[in-house]
Structure 1
Amino acid sequence: MSAPQIVLIGPMGVGKTTVGELLAERLGSTFRDTDADIVAAEGREIAEIFVDDGEPRFRALERQAVRAAVAGHPGVLALGGGAILDAGTRELLAGHTVVYLSMDVEEAVKRTGLNAARPLLAVNPRKQWRELMEARRPLYTEAARVVVATDGRTPEEVAAAVLDALELKEA
C-alpha cells in the first residue's frame, strides 16, 4: 500500500480533474479521480445515482471509493466536491498532502454555468453554491495543507502554483 503524492479537494467545477492530470504528468506519476471510480463501478453518472438512489447512497459509495483510493493510489488523487463532508474521510486525509483548490461563485458560474447536471445545484444554483461553500469551506480548509486559489488562472497556472506551494519539482 502506498499513499497518494497529492490529494486535491475543493468544490465541483474547480478543476480538480484537469489540474490533477496536469500534476500527474508533471510529476511523472498517475492520476485517479474518485468520482470517475464511482461512475465506472456503478455504470452510470453521478447525477443518475443521486436521482435514482439518493444522496445518502451516493455518499456511501463515495466513502468506499475514497478509502480505496487513499489506501492504494500512489499518484495524484482528486476527490469529489462533497467527499470532505464525511468525518471519517477528513480523518483519513490527516497526514496526507492535501491541496484545497478554491474559487469564488463568479468563477464557478464561468466554469460550470452552474448547470442542472450538478444535482445539488438544480434549483437557484448561485444561492445553492454559496450555501454549499459556506458549509464546506471550513472543512476544506481544515483538511488542507495548502490552499491554491484558481480564480482567473489557467489549469497550467494552477498546477504550477500547487507545485510551488508544495515545493515539488517536475519530473
Structure 2
Amino acid sequence: MRGPVLILVGPPGSGKSTVGRLVAERLGVPFRDFDADLQREQGMETGELVVQLGRERFQEVERETLVRVLPEHTGVLALGGGTPTAPGVPELLEPFHVVFLDVELEHLLRREGLVPLHPWLLPNPRAHLRKLLAERRPVYTAVADAVVPTSGRAPEEVAEDVLATLTTSNEHQAG
C-alpha cells in the first residue's frame, strides 16, 4: 500500500515538524508538513483558514486534502494539531504507522513563538492549551500506534524513540 511510512500527530508545539524532519532524514525519505499543504492550497495560514471557513468547513477541507496527500506521499507526514479530530480522519489514518508526540502543558507554555503562531490561544494561552490537550489527547492516543513523550527532551532523542517504534511495528507485522 502506498502512503507515508510514518505519520506524526500531537498538539501545536509538540515537535512534529522538527522531529519529523530528523526522522525523514534518517530514513532517507521526504518530509511533509500537512499545515504547509493546506496553506499552499488555500492561500492562507491555517489559523486564518479556521476563522474564514469556520471549524466545520475547515475540518472538511483538512479531510479532503488528506485524502489527496496520503496516497502520494511516501515519507514522513506531520499532521496539523487538530487534523486527527476532523470527522473521518481517524479512519483514514488506520492503515498507517502513527506516532503521537505527547507533550506536557508546562512545556508547551514555555515554547517561544507558540502563541503568536496560534493567535486563537489568546487571551489566555494556559486555559486554551489545557482545554485543547484534554480534548485532543484521547483522539491522539486512539489513532496512534505508539506514544513518544517530548517534554524536556532533545529532538534527536525523541527522533530515536520514534524510529524505534518503526522497528517494533515492523517486527509485529512480520510475526
Q: Tell me if both proteins adopt one fold, taking TM over 0.5 as the criterion.
A: yes
Is 1:20–2:20 an aligned residue pair?
yes
| Rounded Cα–Cα distance in structure 2 between residues aligned with 1:110 and 1:38 | 27
Paired residue secondary structure (1:17): helix
Q: CA RMSD in A?
A: 1.7
Q: CA deviation at 1:115?
A: 1.0
- Which runs of 5 or more residues in structure 2 are unaligned? 169-175
- Which runs of 5 or more residues in structure 1 are unaligned? none
Paired residue secondary structure (1:7): strand
Q: CA deviation at 1:120?
A: 3.4
Q: Which amino acid aligns with 2:34?
A: T
Q: Equivalences for 1:121-160 in 2 at 5 Å?
A: 121-160=121-160
| Rounded Cα–Cα distance in structure 1 between residues aligned with 2:83 and 2:107 | 21
**Deviation sequence 1:86-117 (CA, Å, 0-9, x none):** 24110111131000000011110112454143
| Rounded Cα–Cα distance in structure 2 between residues aligned with 1:78 and 1:25 | 14
Q: Which amino acid aligns with 1:161?
A: D
Give the paired residue count. Answer: 168
The 4+ residue runs of structure 1 with deviation greater than 4 A are none
Q: Which amino acid aligns with 2:134?
A: E
Q: Which amino acid aligns with 1:20?
A: G
Say whether the 8 Å CA contact 2:8–2:20 is kept in structure 1. yes
Q: Which amino acid aligns with 1:103?
A: V
| Rounded Cα–Cα distance in structure 2 between residues aligned with 1:56 and 1:112 | 29
Identity %: 46
Paired residue secondary structure (1:74): coil
TM-score, with length taken from structure 2: 0.89
Q: Equivalences for 1:78-157 in 2 at 5 Å?
A: 78-112=78-112, 114-157=114-157
TM-score, with length taken from structure 1: 0.91
Say whether the 8 Å CA contact 1:7–1:79 is kept in structure 2. yes
Q: Which amino acid aligns with 1:16?
A: K
